[in-house]
Amino acid sequence: MNSRFSLSTNRISAFFRAVRIVRVLCSYRLSRFLKLGPGKLLSPIYWVLSIGSSRSESEGTRIRLALQDLGPVFVKFGQALSTRPDMLPEDIAHELTLLQDAVPPFDGADALKIVESSLGKSSAALFTQFDLEPLASASVAQVHLAELLDGKEVIVKVLRPEIKIIIDRDLGLLYTLASLVEKYWEQGPRLRPVDVVKEYESTIHSELDMRMEAANAAQMKRNFEGSDLIYVPEIFWDLTDEKVLVMERIHGTPIREIDTLTEMGVDMRKLAHDGVTIFFTQAFRDGFFHADMHPGNIFVAENGQYRAVDFGIMGTLTEADKHYLARNFIGFFNRDYRAVAEAHIQAEWVPAGTRVEEFEAAIRTVCEPIFAKPISEISFGKFLLQLFQTARRFEMPIQPQLVLLQKTLLNIEGLGRQLYPQLDLWETAKPFLENWMEEQVGFTALRKKMAAEAPFWAQQLPEIPSKIHGFLNDVRELRITNHQQQQIITDIQQQLVNQENSRRRIWASSLIFITAATTLVLLLTGQIVPPEIYRSYWGYGAFSLMLVSFVAIVRKPR
């Protein structure tokens, strides 16, 4: 009974949520989203609800505002869509980058109860101080300041109450909308919006486990241990759970406060170049990068060192991804568009049969205008964006990890040029990329590979003599077996030859007997046969003897 009641309640809730979506779309005059398949039935409702609604904003702006009205799940989905230039026009994708993941906070007392329940201890046993006023509030979690019993300052990130229920409910509606788009929109099958929602579902669910973010932060801290470039705060694992994350509090100036940094005497040129170095180090050395490096997540220490927070969204790159990116960047800045085209074809990211000359020409068309600007204004991120847009013409599937990297790179570039407008990314990136490529080939790469595999061979070395002895025994036994099998085959072949010879002799003997008997009968009856026919019988007998002899010769075994 309870399960039926719960199911009915969920259906009713989903219905009213769908009605709210329709109302929001109507209020922002987004009618074309109600004209897909069954949505056409809602057109009369749309016109009624749109009465008195007047909007002068662009469609991209109206979409952004509608997503903000629909709540945190739709906001984060819009942010995810902003990284998909293959799916959206550039103006709408840009507008979605302006979405802010900020929602009103929930009660700090409720946050403290969640902490106590998750960690199984009272607040007095955990903290000397817990600030009930949240420091920041977002769609999935909010952050509070606290002090541990040993006096260390920490931030406590707490998952929102019932956020999983809200997300699962809204994901169901997103799947429904995506299915309609995929089925009824002409571009739907190519863009595969259902797969996009699946990808988003995986991302949003990973953010619902604070241990995932803690693990990301710990990994990045190991990668930059002892580095002067960036500092990653410490994770307190004994105080971290699925719903609670406790992390060292860092102090620094928000990187967006450029005037303050200048007054502090921070070298802005170095700070900008360090940001580029951090990005390329993460991407090419580690293959693991912070994918949410917007100004709100970056602080600067007095000595100019970067300090990062919020590790919920991270990107990963395979060795193949790194090769692809390095070859594209180097080819782009050398204006070697054929190398860029070949990098795509060799990676098998364009359909089979694509002509390299045609793809090269398309890349040249979109990239050459970029070089009309001074090199200090050339954007790596926009170059990747141009590649992705060119890929749409060739039906090339967009790799999600590369799109995430492109978004991060745009953030880094924009931030770097705010800090130092004359920033030349190529000045920093070119030697980095060329050194990385050199390390992938030749003696250096061989030495690194041998060093990486040394533990394996050290473990295998004591067993090598016995393995060689076993191998030689196997070879000897195989030779004996092969010899025996060959002898059996030879014997069988000889038996078959003997049987064939016997069959031939029987056949020839039978033919001779029949011929001789026929000839004898003809001879005995020759008295009543006219001489000319008689003579022809003799001819027949002679011919038969010649035929038997010929057959015997021809069928003689060789």
Q: Which residues are catalytic?
A: 292
Instruction: Say whether 242 sits in a helix, a strand or coil.
Output: coil
Q: Which residue has the tokens 């903000």?
A: 68
Q: Are 203 and 80 in contact (CB under 8 A)?
A: yes
Name the residue type at position 508. Answer: A
The helix (H) or strand (E) run that includes residue 16 is helix 2-27
Strand intervals (E) in 266-400: 288-290, 298-300, 306-308, 314-316
As given in the structure block, the two tokens for residue 94 are 């840009």
Question: Which phi and psi (to 5°) does residue 272 adopt?
Answer: -65, -45
The token pair that represents 176 in the structure block: 């429904």
Count other C-beta atoms under 10 Å from residue 232's C-beta: 25
Contacts of 290 (CB under 8 A, 6+ apart): 220, 282, 297, 308, 311, 313, 314, 408
All residues at 6 or more sequence positions from 281 whose CB lies less than 8 Å from its CB, including other chains: 229, 432
Which region holds residue 131: left if phi is over 0, alpha if psi is between -120 and 50, else beta? beta
Q: Which run of H or E residues covers position 131?
A: none
Q: Which H or E run includes 153?
A: strand 153-159
334 phi, psi to nearest 5 deg = -90, 0
- Report the sign of the C-alpha dihedral through residues 345, 350, 355, 356, in that order: negative
Nearest Cα to Cα of residue 255 among 291, 220, 307: 307
d(CA 160, CA 283): 32
Q: Tokens 């890349």, residue? A: 363
- String of DSSP letters for 163-208: HHHHHHHHHHHHHHHHHHHHHHSTTHHHH-HHHHHHHHHHHHHHTT
Distances (CA, A) of 166 to 265, 313, 536: 47, 20, 111
For residue 308, give the nearest of 296, 323, 326 by alpha carbon. 296
Closest to 322 (Cα-Cα) out of 357, 290, 283, 293? 283
* Both tokens assigned to 277: 């170095």
Beta carbons within 8 Å of 275's beta carbon, 6+ residues apart: 306, 412, 415, 416, 419
How far apart, in whole angstroms, are the C-alpha atoms of residue 47 and residue 484?
Answer: 89
What's the Cα-to-Cα distance from 292 to each of 100, 311, 371, rounded to whole Å? 13, 8, 28
